[in-house]
Every structure is written in C-alpha cells, then in structure tokens.
Structure 1
C-alpha cells in the first residue's frame, strides 16, 4: 500500500468516526424538540401552532440554505462549514432558552438552528465521506454513518426528558446548546482530500451540474419522493408526544417510542446502506415508503395504547431515516461526487419543504379541528405517492443516459 493510499484510508476512517459523531449530536438534539412542545407552549401561554411554526421554519431555513451550504462545502471543504454550523446550532439552542417572546424563540429555533443544521447534517457529511471511499462502498459508509446518527435519537430523547424534568426546559436547552458546540472540534477530523472524477461528465462547473440535474426526470422524482419523508419525520417527531397525550398515553411513553424509533433505525439505516450497494436503491426506497404507509395506517386505525405505540415505534424505526443513505447514494451514482453536496442539498430542499408542511400543518390542523386525523391521513397518502415516484428511477450515470438518448 502506498503512502498516499494509506493516508486516504486513514482519512476515511477518521472522517467516518467524526462524521458519525457529528450526526449523532446534530440529529439527536433535533429529534428531541418534540419533547419541548408542551412545556414551552404551556409556560409561555402559546398555542401549539407557535412552536410548530418555529420548528417548521427551522426545517424550511435548513432546506433553503442547504444547497448553498453544500456548494460552499464542495468548494472549500466540509471542515469550515461544519465548524460554523456548530456555532450557529449552539447559539440557536441558547436563544430558544431566553424567555424573550415569540419572535426571539422563532429566531433561535427557526433561523439559527436551521442554518446550523445545514452545516452539520448528512448532505455535507456524506459528500465528504464519499470522496474518501471507493464507489462500491459509498452506500455502506453512508449507512454506517447514518446508523450512528440514529443512535443519537435513541440516546438524546431520554437525556433531554431527564433534563426537562430535573431542571425545567430553559436549563435543558442551555445544556443542549453546550452539547451542540461539541461538534466544533469534531469538524477538524473531516479532512478535505480531493477525489478524482470518474469521467468528463462529472468534471463540469457547478452551473452545468445544475443544468444536467434539472434536465433529468429522475432527479425531480427523487426530490418529490423525499418530500414525503420530510413530512412524516417532522410531523411524527414534533407531534407524536402531544398526540399520545391526547389519547391518554403518558409523555414518558412518547419519549420511549421516539427513542425506540431511533434504536431500531440503527439497524434500518445500516441494512439500507448495505443493501443499497447490492440492489437498486430507488426500488428499496419504494418498499420503505410502502412500509411507512402500512405502519402509520395500522397505528392510527387501531386503538391507541402504550403497547400499540411501542409496536409502532419499533416498526417505524426500520424505515425512519433509511431513506437518507439510499437517496444520497442515488445522487452520487447518477451525478458523481464533485458537486454531490450541492445536488444532494437541492434534493434535501424538497425534503425540508415536506418537513415544513409536516411540522406547521400538524399544529395548524390540530388548532382548527382539535384532532391530528387529517395530518395522519396526509402522511399515509404521501407515503404511497413517494413509493410510486421512486419505482421508475434508474441509477444510470449521465454518460449512460446520453448514450441511449
């Protein structure tokens, strides 16, 4: 093994560990926001829509900024982008803890954290890791990294609930802000190693890369399918605790259910990445969305009990973030890795439009109808639509597509 090859493998290992820990913190804290909905709203005298709008805005800001964050990461490397994101993330959590009215809360939860997440989550992390591993191992590497991120959801939910119970929600947010700042030193473990492009189709300016992507039907189908993922993940993570409380199931059980989703998703994302290297990734995405539709329908149509909530958490965990390595892997397979952060960021923007809709509409529909029934129905319908949209997508490269056109 040459010195250059050894250094590349060492860089890949360090980047994989640091990237996985970054996702563990960033996604773990993010998935705990639903636990703050009731205590913040009740303490401040707000309706659920205010908190829901702040989280919805967070996802929208995250989505809008992600392509630009990705473009900067593609050009300057992931290290400065992740470090900046860590500072913004910590500042946003601290701002949420300041009892300064709705506008201040929305600024912290919606704007600052949204920007912070765009620099500390999978579009940037996956692209950096993809440049350091062989093409046939990219899907598995993403699956491993995402599985550690899923463990963050499992770990951070009980930790966050314990902080809320022991110290009230304001102090809990301050502690989480300090934890978010721990991402800063981890950013320095993600080395920027230039990766050779596979063909002339990859070695193009970002403007041409955009035109190539926008001209492909499959790019739009993948993006539209990812909308459904965003709607479901944010709606469930934000509103499930309140939904179970309305059904007479205690908040502690909701925390266990959300943690269970994260725990089971460790296996879900790992095997999604593993199988994504062996089978057609869009086909696997279709089956995941159909599985989600079945799990949600069974949960809301059957009587809601603690037992059914636990079963829902375990089943939903298989599909929770399993879409992420497969979606990003499809982008890399078709368009290459030179502009992967930017192009994956654009696909992710569609995901965040769905996240905005799921977070805000859940609260909006509840405040007007007194029920989450309509929102659950939308989640099921979108899942079926996403399965249909992903099925015809192929993983042919741009060169292969042009050869047959």
Structure 2
C-alpha cells in the first residue's frame, strides 16, 4: 500500500540539491547586503546607525517569520511556502536601491527580503530535508544543506563586489535579486507536509499532537530553553560580522575589496565547517560539539583583537570564523529532531531560529550604535568574546538523551 508513496519520494541527492541550493541563493543574497552598507549611507545620507536599524530589523523579522512559516509548512507543505519566500527575497532585494528613507529601507531589507528569506530559510528547509531523508542520513544531510548557505555566501560576495565595481552597487543588488529566482524549481522537489512525508518514507504513524501542545512541551523543557539561549549568541555573532565586517575593514584602513573577500572566505570555510559538523554529529554528543564551536569563536576573536590588522590577518580571521560560522546549525537542528521528532520540526526549529535572530537584531543594531558612540568596533568584539564563553558553558547542562515518550511528538 505504501509503494506508490515510496516511489513519490525524490531521490536523496535531489532533495539535498533542492534544499542546499535554495539556502545558497537566499543566504547568499542576504549575507552579501552588508557590502552595500557604505554605498547606502553615501546615497541616502541617513547615517550608519539608521541604516543599521534596517539591517537589524531584518535580522529580527527573519527570525519572527520562521516559526509561522514552519507552522504553515507543517500543515500545507513546504513547496508553497518556499515559492512565496523566494519571490519576496527577490522583490525586496530589487527595491533596495530605490529606498531613500529609513522606513523604506526597513520595508525593503527588513520586511520583504528578510521575511522572504525566513520563509525559505532553515526551519522550513531543514524540516523538509529531515522528513524526506532516512534518520541515519540526517546528520550529514543537515550539514550539506547548511553548507549550501555557506556556498551561496562564498559565491555571491565576490560576484556582488565585481558587479558593483563594473556597473554600480544598485545594479549589483538587482542582479542578486534576479539570481535568487533560480531557487523556485526547488519548491516542487520539497513539496509536501510532515504527515505526507512521513508516510512517503515509510515512517511509523505519529500520534496526532497539536501545534500548541507541541510548542508548550518544547518551551517547558529546560534543554530546549538552553539550546535557544546558545543560539541567541550565535545570531549575535553572525549578524554583527555579516553586517559590519566590511565596516571593520574600512575602519582598519584596508581596501574595500578585502571586505568582499573576507565575507567570501567566511562562506568558503563554513562549507568545510558544515560538512565536518554534519559528519561529527553522528559520532559525538551534539551539545559537546556546540560548546566546542563557541569556545573556538571566543579564542578566534580574542586573537584577532590582539593582532595587527593587516590584509593577511583579516583573511585568516575570516577563515577561522568561517569554520564555526554556521556549523552550529546541524547539531542544533539535530537536537530539536532528537528531542521532539519530525512531526513539528519546522515549527520548533523556527522557534530556535527566532531566538537566533533576536540575537541577530542586537548584533546588527548595536554594531552601528557602538561605532557611532565610540568611533570603533572594539566594544562589540569584547561582547563577542564574553557571549561566546557564556554560550560554550550554557550547552553543557543540556540532556541530550531522548525525552520520555509522553513528552515526545515522535514520528
């Protein structure tokens, strides 16, 4: 009876290509926007703090959309959610050069582009991948999908820099908008909701649990709350670096091309980090891996702060940060799936991503405020170090073993 459903499941390679490709295109467009911070400031005259507010709101909105996008995807399927998300990313990115006020930038960057990227973001993509792939392959699969986002960042940053040099920053942004539309065919591959996907791969029927009950159970669990706290710190780091690293490069008196290449190097080395983490989550405790990643970030930032700011140092720092940049995603998603199963994966991982983006809002916004107040980014680096140490410690009390059956919405 399940044979037709089994035949309807896309091959694993196609699922991974669709999910990783979508993440590459949406993340590549979003993570490259920090390259245009100076251009937007020059063109609009709004000031770094005002423009940083638009980027910060984008970080927050990207997180806020993910739990709701996850709920919709769990009910009606990921395909429709992804189509709307990709179209919004393209529209928002295309409109950015036309915006001359803070409100306009908030709408284009913060509402349209970031909201669309949230709908076509990790919560929906990771959940779709988890549902369509057997459990024994999920660790590496999430690493591959995560590496897709890194590859997009590595690819888009130099492309954006080259187009900006040749045709102007506005043409570069609009070119990125058109490129994101290449993700639309992936929606067909990843279509289907949690129940359909579970049946298609032959999983045992899950006990029907409502979304509200699943969310309540997750929020009541201490390990889930600690996981959210750690991911908050990850969001702070990622958003600050993605938004302000080009500004750090400029403040150090280095050429603007170093900023573009630094963003690209982060993406390149994050591919390595994501693959390595995808391999590691099947062999070591995921909470221990997360603690190790955050501790490595603290050491990397401390060494960077104490080092002379040369081009070589900047690129080496980008490479080290890249290894840890988004390698937190596979073990974090893996812990959510391990605790609660795939039935409400998009919703629950969306909540974790919301915590990530609350940190992202502060990282992007406070980066601009700190520079306006002090004329440097030093205090942000100090905050990065302290938060990374705190995140390394907060993961240690997490209980990684599976929860009792009464507390699990298992599939």
Change (3 A) 1:71 1:402: closer
Moved more, 24-33 or 176-185: 176-185
Residue of structure 1 equivalent to 2:300: 295
Residue of structure 1 equivalent to 2:385: 380
Residue of structure 2 equivalent to 1:138: 138
How far does the alpha carbon of each residue in 1:10-43 deviate from its partner, in whole angstroms, 9 at most, with x for none? Answer: 3433221111110110111111011100111012
Superposition pairs of residues 1-20 of structure 1, within 5 angstroms? 3-4=3-4, 7=7, 10-20=10-20
Report the CA distance between 1:116 and its aligned residue. Answer: 0.2
8 Å CA contact retained: 1:11, 1:191: no
How far does the alpha carbon of each residue in 1:335-380 deviate from its partner, in whole angstroms, 9 at most, with x for none? Answer: 1000000000001111000000000000011111111111111111
Report the CA distance between 1:395 and its aligned residue. Answer: 2.4
Report the CA distance between 1:101 and its aligned residue. Answer: 2.5
Query: Pairwise CA RMSD of aligned residues?
Result: 1.8
Residue of structure 1 equivalent to 2:197: 194
8 Å CA contact retained: 2:217, 2:407: no
Residue of structure 2 equivalent to 1:365: 370
Q: Could you tell me how far apart the structure 2 residues matched to 1:3 and 1:10 are?
A: 13
Moved more, 385-394 or 224-233: 385-394
Residue of structure 1 equivalent to 2:111: 111
Structure 1 unmatched runs, 5+: none
Residue of structure 2 equivalent to 1:224: 229
How far does the alpha carbon of each residue in 1:126-179 deviate from its partner, in whole angstroms, 9 at most, with x for none? Answer: 100101112221111000111122111111000011111112122212111111
8 Å CA contact retained: 1:258, 1:313: yes
Q: Could you tell me how far apart the structure 1 residues matched to 2:91 and 2:80 are?
A: 17
Q: TM-score, normalised by structure 2?
A: 0.94
Q: Could you tell me how far apart the structure 1 residues matched to 2:318 and 2:256 are?
A: 14
Q: Does 1:57 align with 2:57?
A: yes
Change (3 A) 1:352 1:402: closer
Change (3 A) 1:327 1:156: same
Residue of structure 2 equivalent to 1:242: 247
Superposition pairs of residues 296-335 of structure 1, within 5 angstroms? 296-335=301-340
Q: Could you tell me how far apart the structure 1 residues matched to 2:273 and 2:8 are?
A: 28
Q: Does 1:102 align with 2:105?
A: no
- Please give the secondary structure, in 2, of the residue aligned with 1:395: coil
Moved more, 151-160 or 300-309: 300-309
Change (3 A) 1:170 1:400: same
Superposition pairs of residues 77-88 of structure 1, within 5 angstroms? 77-88=77-88
8 Å CA contact retained: 1:331, 1:340: yes
- Please give the secondary structure, in 2, of the residue aligned with 1:398: coil
Structure 2 unmatched runs, 5+: none
Q: Could you tell me how far apart the structure 2 residues matched to 1:109 and 1:299 are?
A: 30
8 Å CA contact retained: 1:15, 1:191: no
2:267 to 262, 268, 276: 262
How far does the alpha carbon of each residue in 1:369-394 deviate from its partner, in whole angstroms, 9 at most, with x for none? Answer: 11111111111111111111112212
- Please give the secondary structure, in 2, of the residue aligned with 1:294: helix
8 Å CA contact retained: 1:85, 1:118: yes
- Please give the secondary structure, in 2, of the residue aligned with 1:371: coil
Q: Could you tell me how far apart the structure 2 residues matched to 1:392 and 1:289 are?
A: 15
Q: Could you tell me how far apart the structure 2 residues matched to 1:402 and 1:15 are?
A: 30
8 Å CA contact retained: 2:58, 2:110: yes
Q: Could you tell me how far apart the structure 2 residues matched to 1:314 and 1:349 are?
A: 27
Report the CA distance between 1:7 and its aligned residue. Answer: 2.4
How far does the alpha carbon of each residue in 1:182-240 deviate from its partner, in whole angstroms, 9 at most, with x for none? Answer: 2222211213243156686x641111101110110001000000011001011011111
Report the CA distance between 1:102 and its aligned residue. Answer: 2.5
Q: Could you tell me how far apart the structure 2 residues matched to 1:204 and 1:398 are?
A: 16
Report the CA distance between 1:8 and its aligned residue. Answer: 5.7
Report the CA distance between 1:327 and its aligned residue. Answer: 0.5
Q: Could you tell me how far apart the structure 2 residues matched to 1:305 and 1:99 are?
A: 35
Change (3 A) 1:385 1:279: same
8 Å CA contact retained: 2:80, 2:191: no
